């Protein structure tokens, strides 16, 4: 039977070998945290390598994702579908062992952790999802949702601002099933951190409301196990276990130094480490007794089987709840009648024809859809009254763990990272809101959502210079283009209440990627539409106003500028110019349509085109061509009432008509 030391040294050896073969990577953190990982994974972690998607598994997050050989070693050794050949292809094209852990590439990797601090914020999201789901589904004697979230993180994660935002909220919410391990090795890429990181980390987390276990020897299995036992016993607070470790433990000449942080150890040093660790095995060679000591397949299958027996008893006692759990958590299906009822609401909205701000139209849609979707979990970064994200059924989880709304406070970045964790956990469709300008604070987490291909609904209001008096600091200009250019991100900017409802439906149904919904502060006029036009909204762009015969010019607009486009078309028609107005609330949905449909909306023969949008103009060349016209923003905004700004920046019928005339 292999000893704990041998089990931990297997991680060290694989990490040294993988990085050395790739000639790049970070061996120091995996070698330093190997003892902690061995105790956690062998003695505490409830998981099943034969079914990585078992819904009540513990979640493990490697927030210091540069140490990715740690998680790849753990997955391989414990029995996941990650053969040794994949570890030998570390950081190579199309391998399942990329440079940083990536969700969807490797079974058992719960989230993509490249940017430091992202993982701990995701872990907070996992823990929120577990606590809320447990409150919604568990009944006395039937704890079918009962798992922990464990997170490894390093000094870099703690320096990043997102960790402050997310961990502060975690303490406020009392997430007792969240246990974090700080790899306190005192090293970052530039060297010893005392020159730039001297804060009292235990004191910081105590001030957040965490339970803190300080001064744990990260190379003492008994001390590590005792700390985990203590952490699990504290049910009303998240726990931070502060583990003092030696980076690159086992490397005789480079351990404790930044020399082993982000570079291979080198053949000579690896040979010395093998001798120091008493590991006389060839690269990537693991003895059979070590594999046997790590193998979790049988134990994991037994744990899942025990849970399935509990679930059968739950199903007998609460058949409706069990069916809902299977739909939401295990299958991830929408309610069977969602599409039908959503379409009915869209038709009703069109019939009403209300002239309201699209942010208010969004709230009306949340009100309608919230009643249809018990899995809807909303939130806002301290702007609920402006974003209009609350609805009559909203219940804050800080007051009722079974609620459906998170008051994130002024934490746009933390909110977005937490949303990623909630989505990855499963069981919820979550939305989070802020002013569109403050997407900039959250940009990295929004990008990670798109990179992972997970469902999030980002609600961004106050979408243009129409924000008005708050001035250019609050008026987005380049952000729409930013979102539209992000791969896998769907972006909608609705023109009125009907388009807002369609956009929400599209976001709810888009389960494999995120959606950004962009809404106005100012009121927007309702547009008249036929049933066919309403149906075509979901195609991303459609002909809203047409002329007799072939158009001479096409005006393309979105959101609050659709009203201007329609008024300009009337003026152009009166002057004898045949004009078509195309509403394009979602460029990416339109781009995905058939060539025939796109030609029917934007005929190639009609080359005179003008794009109208209170955002940066450069994005629109793909639709109007370099010979086309633009009515948009080429500068930052100004501070003044929104109506005055629209005139100042040329969003007038006169300027649109003049722009068309200049096309010849």
Sign (positive or negative) of CA dihedral 253, 255, 256, 261: positive
The model's confidence at residue 627, banded by pLDDT at 50, 70 and 90, is confident
The model's confidence at residue 198, banded by pLDDT at 50, 70 and 90, is very high
CA 609 to CA 572: how far, in whole Å? 13
CA 249 to CA 383: how far, in whole Å? 47
Structural domains present in the chain: 4-301 (3.40.50.970), 343-518 (3.40.50.970), 539-662 (3.40.50.920)
Residue 615: C-alpha distances to residues 27, 437, 454, 471, 610 (Å)? 46, 12, 27, 15, 14
CB 127, CB 115: distance < 8 Å: no
Instruction: For 589-623, write each residue's pLDDT tens digit.
Output: 999 999 999 999 999 999 999 999 999 999 999 99
DSSP string across 74-131: HHHHHT-S--HHHHTTTT-TT-SS-SS--TTTSTT--S---STTHHHHHHHHHHHHHH
For 69, counting Cβ atoms within 10 Å of its Cβ (0-12 exposed, 13-18 middle, 19+ buried), the class is buried
pLDDT at 1 over 90: no
What distance lies between CA 363 and its chain's CA centroid? 22
261 in a labelled binding site = yes
For 23-35, b where at least 16 C-beta lie within 10 A, e where not — what string?
A: eebbbbbbbbbbb
3-state class (DSSP) for residue 312 = helix
Q: What is the DSSP letter of 67?
A: G
Specify whether 412 is catalytic.
yes
Instruction: Confirm whether pTM is higher than 0.85.
Output: yes
521 in a labelled binding site = yes
- Which is catalytic among the residues 86, 110, 375, 412? 412
Residue 558: CB atoms within 10 Å: 29
pLDDT at 144 over 90: yes
Indicate the average pLDDT of the chain.
97
Strand partners, 461: 435
224 in a labelled binding site = no
47 in a labelled binding site = no
Overall average pLDDT of the 47-55 stretch: 98
CA 127, 132, 137, 138: dihedral to nearest 10 degrees?
A: 60
Instruction: For 402-443, write each residue's pLDDT tens digit.
Output: 999 999 999 999 999 999 999 999 999 999 999 999 999 999
CA 291 to CA 289: how far, in whole Å? 5
187 in a labelled binding site = yes
For 593, counting Cβ atoms within 10 Å of its Cβ (0-12 exposed, 13-18 middle, 19+ buried), the class is middle
Instruction: For 566-579, write each residue's pLDDT tens digit.
Output: 999 999 999 999 99
90 in a labelled binding site = no
632 in a labelled binding site = no
The model's confidence at residue 298, banded by pLDDT at 50, 70 and 90, is very high
Residue 164: C-alpha distances to residues 167, 169, 201, 573, 635 (Å)? 5, 9, 11, 57, 34
**What H or E segment, with its residue span, contains residue 417?**
helix 412-425
State residue 60's pLDDT score. 98
State residue 430's pLDDT score. 97
Overall average pLDDT of the 181-205 stretch: 96
DSSP string across 462-477: S-SGGGGGG-TTS--S
pLDDT at 24 over 90: yes
Q: Give phi and psi for 296, each to the nearest 5.
A: -110, 10
114 in a labelled binding site = yes
Instruction: For 316-353, write each residue's pLDDT tens digit.
Output: 999 999 999 999 999 999 999 999 999 999 999 999 99
pLDDT at 103 over 90: yes
| Token pair in block for residue 204 | 């910081």
164 in a labelled binding site = no
For 664, counting Cβ atoms within 10 Å of its Cβ (0-12 exposed, 13-18 middle, 19+ buried), the class is exposed
Residue 8: C-alpha distances to residues 5, 42, 262, 286, 502 (Å)? 5, 10, 21, 12, 53
Overall average pLDDT of the 89-97 stretch: 97
State residue 256's pLDDT score. 95
Per cent of the chain over pLDDT 90 is 99
Instruction: For 457-486, write each residue's pLDDT tens digit.
Output: 999 999 999 999 999 999 999 999 999 999
386 in a labelled binding site = yes
115 in a labelled binding site = yes
Overall average pLDDT of the 176-196 stretch: 96
DSSP string across 228-296: HHHHHH--SS-EEEEEE--TTTT-TTTTTSGGGTSS---HHHHHHHHHHHT----TT---HHHHHHH--
pLDDT at 142 over 90: yes
CA 301, 306, 312, 313: dihedral to nearest 10 degrees?
A: 180
Per cent of the chain over pLDDT 70 is 100
State residue 622's pLDDT score. 95
Overall average pLDDT of the 240-266 stretch: 96
| Token pair in block for residue 65 | 């994702």
Sign (positive or negative) of CA dihedral 135, 139, 144, 146: positive
CA 359 to CA 435: how far, in whole Å? 11
Q: Which of 252, 284, 246, 256 has its CA nearest to residue 266?
A: 252
CA 359 to CA 131: how far, in whole Å? 30
Q: What is the DSSP letter of 42?
A: I
3-state class (DSSP) for residue 182 = strand
Kindly give the residue spans of alpha helices, DSSP state H, lying in 23-67.
Answer: 28-39
CA 111 to CA 122: how far, in whole Å? 8
Overall average pLDDT of the 121-136 stretch: 98
pLDDT at 38 over 90: yes
State residue 264's pLDDT score. 97
Overall average pLDDT of the 16-20 stretch: 98
pLDDT at 365 over 90: yes
State residue 499's pLDDT score. 98
State residue 573's pLDDT score. 98
Instruction: For 527-582, write each residue's pLDDT tens digit.
Output: 999 999 999 999 999 999 999 999 999 999 999 999 999 999 999 999 999 999 99
């Amino acid at each position: 039977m292999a000893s704990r030391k041998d089990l931990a040294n297997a991680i060290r050896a694989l990490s040294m070998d993988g990085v050395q073969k790739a000639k790049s990577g970070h061996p120091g953190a995996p070698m330093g945290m190997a003892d902690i990982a061995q105790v956690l994974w062998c003695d505490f972690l409830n998981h099943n390598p034969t079914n990585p998607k078992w819904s009540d598994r513990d979640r493990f997050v490697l927030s210091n994702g540069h140490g990715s050989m740690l998680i790849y070693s753990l997955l391989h050794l414990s029995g996941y579908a990650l053969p040794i050949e994949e570890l030998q292809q570390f950081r190579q094209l199309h391998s399942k062992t990329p440079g940083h852990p990536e969700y969807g590439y490797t079974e058992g990797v719960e989230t993509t952790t490249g940017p430091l601090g992202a993982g701990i914020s995701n872990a907070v999201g996992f823990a929120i999802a577990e606590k809320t789901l447990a409150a919604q589904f568990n009944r006395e004697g039937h704890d079918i949702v009962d798992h922990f979230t464990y997170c490894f993180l390093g000094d870099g994660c703690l320096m990043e601002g997102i960790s402050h935002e997310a961990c502060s909220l975690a303490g406020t919410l009392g997430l007792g099933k969240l246990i974090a391990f700080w790899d306190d090795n005192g090293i970052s890429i530039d060297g010893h951190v005392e020159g730039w990181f001297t804060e009292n980390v235990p004191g910081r987390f105590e001030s957040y409301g965490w339970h803190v276990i300080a001064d744990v020897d990260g190379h003492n299995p008994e001390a590590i196990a005792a700390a985990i036992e203590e952490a699990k016993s504290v049910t009303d607070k998240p726990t931070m276990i502060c583990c003092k470790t030696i980076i690159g433990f086992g490397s005789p000449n480079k351990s404790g130094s930044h020399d082993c942080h982000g570079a291979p150890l080198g053949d000579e040093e690896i040979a010395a480490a093998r001798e120091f660790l008493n590991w006389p095995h060839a690269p990537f060679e693991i003895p059979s007794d070590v594999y046997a000591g790590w193998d979790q397949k049988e134990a994991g299958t037994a744990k899942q089987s025990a849970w399935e027996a509990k679930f059968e008893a739950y199903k007998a006692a609460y058949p409706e709840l069990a069916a809902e759990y299977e739909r939401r958590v295990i299958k991830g299906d929408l309610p069977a009648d969602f599409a039908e009822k959503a379409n009915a609401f869209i038709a009703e909205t069109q019939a009403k024809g209300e002239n309201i701000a699209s942010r208010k139209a969004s709230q009306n849609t949340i009100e309608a859809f919230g009643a249809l979707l018990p899995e809807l979990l909303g939130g806002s970064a301290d702007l609920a009254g402006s974003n209009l994200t609350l609805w009559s059924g909203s219940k804050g989880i800080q007051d009722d763990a079974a609620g459906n709304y998170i008051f994130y406070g002024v934490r746009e970045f933390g909110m977005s990272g937490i949303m990623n964790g909630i989505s990855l956990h499963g069981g919820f469709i979550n939305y989070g809101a802020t002013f569109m300008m403050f997407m900039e604070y959250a940009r990295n987490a929004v990008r990670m959502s798109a990179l992972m291909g997970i469902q999030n609904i980002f609600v961004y209001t106050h979408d243009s210079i129409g924000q008005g008096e708050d001035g250019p600091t609050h008026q987005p200009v380049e952000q729409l283009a930013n979102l539209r250019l992000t791969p896998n991100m769907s972006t909608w900017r609705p023109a009125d209440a009907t388009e807002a409802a369609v956009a929400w439906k599209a976001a709810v149904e888009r389960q494999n990627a995120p959606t950004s919904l962009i809404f106005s502060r100012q009121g927007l006029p309702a547009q008249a539409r036929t049933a066919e036009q309403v149906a075509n909204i979901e195609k991303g762009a459609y002909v809203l106003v047409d002329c007799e015969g072939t158009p001479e010019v096409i005006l393309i607009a979105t959101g609050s500028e659709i009203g201007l486009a329609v008024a300009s078309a009337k003026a152009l028609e009166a002057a004898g110019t045949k004009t078509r107005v195309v509403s394009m609330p979602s460029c990416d949905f339109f781009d995905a349509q058939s060539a025939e449909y796109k030609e029917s909306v934007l005929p190639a023969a009609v080359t005179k085109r003008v794009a109208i949008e209170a955002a940066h103009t450069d994005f629109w060349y793909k639709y109007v061509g370099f010979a086309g016209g633009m009515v948009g923003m080429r500068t930052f905004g100004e501070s003044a009432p929104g109506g005055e700004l629209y005139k100042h920046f040329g969003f007038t019928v006169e300027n649109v008509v003049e722009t068309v005339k200049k096309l010849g």
